Amino acid sequence: MSNEQIQQKVEALLAQMTLEEKAAQMVQVPYTVAGREESLRWARLGAGSFLHVLGDDAREVQQTALKESRLGIPVIFGIDAIHGHGLNQDAAIFPSQLACACSWDPAVAEEMGRVTAREVATDGLHWTFSPVCCLGRDTRWGRIDETFGEDPYLSGEMTYGIVRGYQGDSLDAPDSILACAKHYIGYGEAVGARDAVDTQMTYRKMKEVFVPPFQRAVDAGCATFMTAYGSIDGTPFTADPKTMKTILRDEMGFDGFVVTDWNNCQSLLTQQFVAADIGEASILSAEAGNDMMMTTLDFYDAAIRAVREGRLDEKVLDDAVRHILTVKFRMDLFGKPEKAGIPGCIGCEEHRQAAYRAGQRSITLLKNNGALPLRDVKKVAVIGQNADDIQSQYGDWTYLTHPNSETARPPRRPYVTVKEGFEQLCEAHGAQCVYHHGCAVRPLPPEVIAMIEGPVLADPVAENIRQQSMRRMPPRDDIPGAVAAAKDADAIVLVVGDTIDQHGEYKDRGNLDLSGEQMALYRALRALNIPLTVVLVSSKPLCIGEIAETADAVIVAFNGGQYGGLAVAEAAFGVFNPSGRLPITFPAHSGQLPVYYNSLPGWHGGRYMDLPRTPVYAFGEGMGYAPFSYANLVFDAAALTASVDVTNAGDVPGTEVVQVYMHDLVASVIRPVKQLIAFTRVDLAPGETKTVTFRLRREDFSLVNREEKRIVEPGEFDLFIGHSSRDEDLLRTRFAL
Ligand code: NOJ
């Protein structure tokens, strides 16, 4: 259907809708909270969308909307399928967005999106609340794992890939779903990384740093946007027409619909206190440009009343409904209310293989003094709770972690933990593998343990919680046991990290040191003087300065998905040559935060006097089993082409991620010390040299000026090309534009 035909259909339908039906179309009902009966009532009223409902329950809602609502407008079902269709127990589970970003490969994101779309669609659903385009710059924030890291450009390229993957070539294909760029905007930039509070943004800064990844979502045709909880200079984004209309629609060119985040409309009165009642909150939200209100069911009555009382123009509702119906027609929801997907594809072999490949691509080797790859080992000791904890390996937003799932639900095979990966690889290499948990990643306080292990409780709810907690009890610390298990090994692999209780919404951390006795465990194992590799299975960079200095090898796996553990073991044994690069900085200390490579200059002293100047690992760092060298940087300023010779100086094939940064020497606003503007992956055989050429664009050197306009200012620039964001890894040339 052409755009014109769609618009005609939208207008014809809108003309038939009553005020009540328009208000209902703007409501998104949380099935798990509302329950079945209430959800069906909303379907009859003509609610526009439901979230968190799967399978037959979703089908029943859809049939009710089609047959029992006056106009039979189909509903859209949304779900948080953010690294695979993870809330479905059988789905393929991919690495988290952060882990996926270690690949520096938009094709990996696209494949993850494609597979997820097929599985979500096969469940009859239409829409995923993904990707997160927020930047992870202050890693105390609980949701760092959901981001593509700290950089606007890398995040934008990964965003572009995943949105293309979700939406495919056409929204009406049976296996395409709607993407949702979230949380627009600045959610990761809240003061002190405190989930959902006010941001330290101005509109200029918003446009320069935070809009770009969202712009890439728009460029990829992203059909929906979700707003952020936070605020800008005291104005909640939910109530800010400049953010939602001027910037998003007029400047960025977005033409889909906007959904609020969870109860944002209600929060205007219950958390942000800029509305005295739900009527005011509803008027503010609707007028600002929120087309659909997630979970704020009271919006319905309040909006109807506000229109009747003359406090809200019905045209505001018309616009919102227009946006929603346009997307519904674009995806041919009226012709095909239920997505067909590809029957039998959920968790199929092909999809699992894709998750496995993504897991391999996310493995990032950060240090290796020759301990890896493992060779001629007779016994490998794998130590650490996270080496055998599938919940930590999966990370957030899977059926094991989502608050609405039963926490006691057993993990469904197939998956391979790090321990199991080493068992497989050791067997293949004729070596013995021993495992010991060593200590709890996050031990419980003694009084909680006493309660959990105590007598049966009279209150059935409390007893249920006790029983669930019992099943999820962290193991007891036993460092001597781990040392005994490891003492005659040829290699030790210690897995450290965090658990699902230490990240996610509502779970910001002030201290990113390894929790519990993990450092004591490390030191005890280090004292054995056996080659020691440390693996991080975590949601974010943790403070591992001492480990970085004294371990023999360091691998970052983050939340690697169902085969993340196998990928770690294969990388350690050299089955493949790891090629991940950090999309995010590892701080030297929690007090160093926020720390990111593209900071603004001007800090007197450039450091906290009691902390190191540099982070432990910088953005872009990562290595494989072959070193790369760079030579002959040539830049043609007129054609804006840059080329460099990259050589694999090792004896195994390897993949280098060639990174291009720029710095604007003098500008009307302060520019970052360095900004990534391009990158590419290059496969190189041992000894091979390739000339890598980048075609840059003038806008790669642009800035957002004080008038909030993106422009290119003439002047001198530095161009850097090399292996990571560290100065010592980069060749440099200066030119005038
Ligand atoms: C709140 C979260 O902030 C958002 O990311 C998610 O998509 C919605 N809840 C729906 O679950």
Query: What is the 698 CA–ligand 1 centroid distance (Å)?
Result: 37
Residues 6+ apart with CB under 8 A from 503: 142, 143, 144, 145, 395, 396, 509, 539, 540
What pLDDT, on a 0 to 100 scale, did the predictor assign at position 444? 87
Query: What is the 341 CA–ligand 1 centroid distance (Å)?
Result: 24
Helix 479-486 / helix 518-526 crossing angle, nearest 10 deg = 30
Residues 370, 375, 381: CA angle, nearest 5 degrees: 90
Query: What is the 129 CA–ligand 1 centroid distance (Å)?
Result: 7
CB atoms within 10 A of CB 298: 18
d(CA 736, CA 404): 56
What pLDDT, on a 0 to 100 scale, did the predictor assign at position 343? 95
From residue 76, give the alpha-carbon distance in Å to each of 62, 79, 363, 418, 625: 8, 10, 36, 38, 48
Query: What is the 196 CA–ligand 1 centroid distance (Å)?
Result: 12
Query: What is the 11 CA–ligand 1 centroid distance (Å)?
Result: 31
- Alpha carbon distance, N-terminus to C-terminus of the chain: 45
d(CA 288, CA 275): 14
Bond from prior residue into 446 cis (ω within 30 degrees of 0): no
Burial class (CB in 10 A: 0-12, 13-18, 19+), 428: exposed
Query: What is the 186 CA–ligand 1 centroid distance (Å)?
Result: 15
Beta-carbon-side half-sphere exposure of residue 648 (alpha carbons within 13 Å) = 22
Q: Specify the amino acid at residue 440.
A: A
Query: What is the 426 CA–ligand 1 centroid distance (Å)?
Result: 41
Q: Specify the amino acid at residue 726.
A: R
d(CA 270, CA 205): 28
- What does DSSP assign to residue 541? -
d(CA 521, CA 443): 14
Bond from prior residue into 531 cis (ω within 30 degrees of 0): no
Ligand 1 neighbour 261 (Cβ under 6 A) = yes
Could you write out the three-class secondary structure of 528-581?
A: CCCCEEEEEECCCCCECHHHHHHCCEEEECCCCCCCHHHHHHHHHCCCCCCCCC
Ligand 1 neighbour 80 (Cβ under 6 A) = yes
Q: What is the DSSP string of 138-163?
A: STTSTTGGGS--S-HHHHHHHHHHHH
Query: What is the 284 CA–ligand 1 centroid distance (Å)?
Result: 21
d(CA 582, CA 24): 45
Query: What is the 93 CA–ligand 1 centroid distance (Å)?
Result: 19
Ligand 1 neighbour 436 (Cβ under 6 A) = no
Q: Which two tokens stand for residue 285?
A: 């939200």
Nearest residue (by CA) to ligand 1, atom 1, is 262
Indicate the Cα dihedral angle 708, 712, 716, 718, nearest 10°.
Answer: 90
Measure CA 705 to chain center.
Answer: 29
Burial class (CB in 10 A: 0-12, 13-18, 19+), 529: exposed
**Residue 426 parent element (H or E):** helix 418-428
Query: What is the 559 CA–ligand 1 centroid distance (Å)?
Result: 19
Q: Which of 345, 497, 504 is nearest to 417 (CA)?
A: 497
Nearest residue (by CA) to ligand 1, atom 3, is 261
d(CA 383, CA 487): 12
Residues 6+ apart with CB under 8 A from 280: 268, 269
Query: What is the 399 CA–ligand 1 centroid distance (Å)?
Result: 15
d(CA 362, CA 96): 9
Outline where 496-553 has alpha helix (H): 518-526, 545-550
What pLDDT, on a 0 to 100 scale, did the predictor assign at position 72? 98
Phi, psi of 383 (to 5 degrees): -125, 145
Measure CA 694 to chain center.
Answer: 28
Model pTM? 0.97
Phi, psi of 489 (to 5 degrees): -80, 160
Q: What is the DSSP string of 429-480?
A: TT-EEEEE--S-SSPPPHHHHHHHHSPPPSSHHHHHHHHHHHHTPPPPP-HH
Residues 6+ apart with CB under 8 A from 416: 424, 562, 563, 564, 565, 566
375 by DSSP, 3-state: which? Answer: coil
Q: Specify the amino acid at residue 339.
A: K
- What does DSSP assign to residue 701? G
Ligand 1 neighbour 143 (Cβ under 6 A) = no
Query: What is the 229 CA–ligand 1 centroid distance (Å)?
Result: 10
In the block, residue with structure tokens 């890291």? 149
- What does DSSP assign to residue 368? E
In the block, residue with structure tokens 């450290």? 496
CB atoms within 10 A of CB 646: 23
Nearest residue (by CA) to ligand 1, atom 11, is 80
d(CA 260, CA 294): 5
* Atom of ligand 1 lying closest to residue 129 CA: 7
What pLDDT, on a 0 to 100 scale, did the predictor assign at position 469? 76
Ligand 1 neighbour 225 (Cβ under 6 A) = no
* Atom of ligand 1 lying closest to residue 82 CA: 7
Query: What is the 214 CA–ligand 1 centroid distance (Å)?
Result: 17
* Atom of ligand 1 lying closest to residue 505 CA: 3
Q: Which two tokens stand for residue 681?
A: 């992956």
d(CA 702, CA 208): 9
Ligand 1 neighbour 32 (Cβ under 6 A) = no
Bond from prior residue into 672 cis (ω within 30 degrees of 0): no
Is residue 229 within 8 Å of residue 186, measured between CB atoms? no
Residue whose CB lies within 8 A of the most ligand 1 atoms, among 29, 54, 77, 80, for a mutation test? 80
* Atom of ligand 1 lying closest to residue 132 CA: 5
Residue 656 forms beta bridges with which residues?
682
* Atom of ligand 1 lying closest to residue 130 CA: 7
* Atom of ligand 1 lying closest to residue 180 CA: 7
Indicate the Cα dihedral angle 145, 148, 149, 151, nearest 10°.
Answer: -160
The per-type count for the chain, helices as H runs and strands as E runs, is 23, 26
Burial class (CB in 10 A: 0-12, 13-18, 19+), 430: exposed
Ligand 1 neighbour 262 (Cβ under 6 A) = yes
Measure CA 278 to chain center.
Answer: 32
Torsion sign (Cα): 86, 92, 96, 97: negative
What pLDDT, on a 0 to 100 scale, did the predictor assign at position 499? 96
What pLDDT, on a 0 to 100 scale, did the predictor assign at position 554? 98
Residue whose CB lies within 8 A of the most ligand 1 atoms, among 82, 182, 229, 507, for a mutation test? 182
Nearest residue (by CA) to ligand 1, atom 9, is 262
Ligand 1 neighbour 182 (Cβ under 6 A) = yes
Query: What is the 428 CA–ligand 1 centroid distance (Å)?
Result: 43
Residues of the chain with pLDDT under 50: 405, 407
Residue whose CB lies within 8 A of the most ligand 1 atoms, among 132, 294, 507, 508, for a mutation test? 294
Residues 6+ apart with CB under 8 A from 638: none
What pLDDT, on a 0 to 100 scale, did the predictor assign at position 403? 52
Could you write out the three-class secondary structure of 301-354?
A: HHHHHHHHCCCCCHHHHHHHHHHHHHHHHHCCCCCCCCCCCCCCCCCCHHHHHH
Query: What is the 262 CA–ligand 1 centroid distance (Å)?
Result: 6
In the block, residue with structure tokens 């990844």? 213
- What does DSSP assign to residue 79? E
Residue whose CB lies within 8 A of the most ligand 1 atoms, among 120, 184, 187, 226, for a mutation test? 226
Query: What is the 224 CA–ligand 1 centroid distance (Å)?
Result: 14
Q: Which two tokens stand for residue 315?
A: 């045209």
Q: Specify the amino acid at residue 722.
A: G
Residues 6+ apart with CB under 8 A from 333: 74, 76, 126
* pLDDT tens digits, one per residue of 542-556: 999 999 999 999 999
